[in-house]
Chains A and B, each alone.
Chain A
Amino acid sequence: MANAQALSTSFKVDLLNGLHAFGASVIRGATTKDSFKGALYLATGSQGAATTAYSSTNEVSGTGYSATGAAFTNATAPTSTGTTAFWTPSASIAWTTVTLATAFDALTMYNDTSAGKLAVGTFTFGSQTITAGNFTLTMPTNDSTNALLRLA
């Protein structure tokens, strides 16, 4: 067995669990996991890599939709397979009996527990409108090749 230069796979999982802070961090009040939410954004919006936190600017509005969006279900802790750490919400995120008449094409996932509602990322899909119906985002398989969040 020879030595090999590598990032520890456990470190990647630890990042997903917030166990390292190379810069100034925050004092966490509890060891419980954070709550994450998803908000929908109009196709005319500009969500993306520069999005740092939840914002109501360009968020959709309509019957049955509440500003700040809906909560993700998080029943499965981050884990790893091989050298890839990953995490996926454990259920679909859905809005039922809503009317969203203005086209939207993005969902921004953010940390609802953090004081600044810090952004995790933005997922885009084709432009959609919903009329007295449901909008559902089905999550991929939670594994090292398909998971929603992967650190490879």
Chain B
Amino acid sequence: MTEQTPLIWTSKGNLPIDTLQYSTSWEDAPEYMAFTEQYRLGEEIVKSSTHVYSKRPLAFVNSEQGAFG
């Protein structure tokens, strides 16, 4: 049976995932929430992804109807 090493695509090409340091972080701001995951090879970031959840509308209009003068 052949032992297979899982690889992951990075800025250095396909690297064995076990050789990388994996970390995640969250940022919770009033307008958004961001989840970032990073893979480092030593001190260098070789893969990072971010997923942002929008908590604020692109537009919000308080529509009002004027009265006759």
Contact = CB atoms under 8 A, between A and B. Distances in A.
**Do A and B actually bind?**
yes
Interface of A: 5-7, 12, 97, 99, 109, 120-126, 128-140, 146-152
Interface residues of B, number: 33
Given A124-B31, A126-B32, A135-B51, 12 more contacts: A5-B67, A97-B9, A125-B32, A129-B48, A131-B38, A131-B47, A134-B50, A135-B52, A136-B52, A137-B54, A139-B54, A149-B57
B27 A122 contact: no
Interface in B17-69: 27, 29, 31-32, 34, 36-38, 45-65, 67
A126 B48 contact: no
Given A132-B10, A135-B49, A152-B62, A125 B34 contact: yes
Given A97-B9, A149-B57, A125 B49 contact: no
Contacts, number: 98
A6 B65 contact: yes
Contact of B49 (A109, A130, A148): A130
Contacts of B67: 5
Given A125-B34, A126-B32, A132 B54 contact: no
B5 interface: no
B49 A134 contact: yes
B45 A7 contact: no
Residue among A120, A125, A146 facing the most chain B CB atoms (10 A cut-off): A125
Counting from the closest, the 7 A-B pairs by CB-CB distance are: A133-B49, A121-B58, A134-B49, A136-B51, A125-B32, A131-B48, A132-B11
Nearest to A96: B49
20 contacts: A124-B32, A125-B31, A126-B34, A128-B50, A130-B48, A130-B49, A130-B50, A131-B10, A131-B11, A131-B46, A132-B46, A133-B49, A135-B49, A137-B54, A138-B54, A149-B59, A150-B57, A150-B59, A150-B60, A150-B61
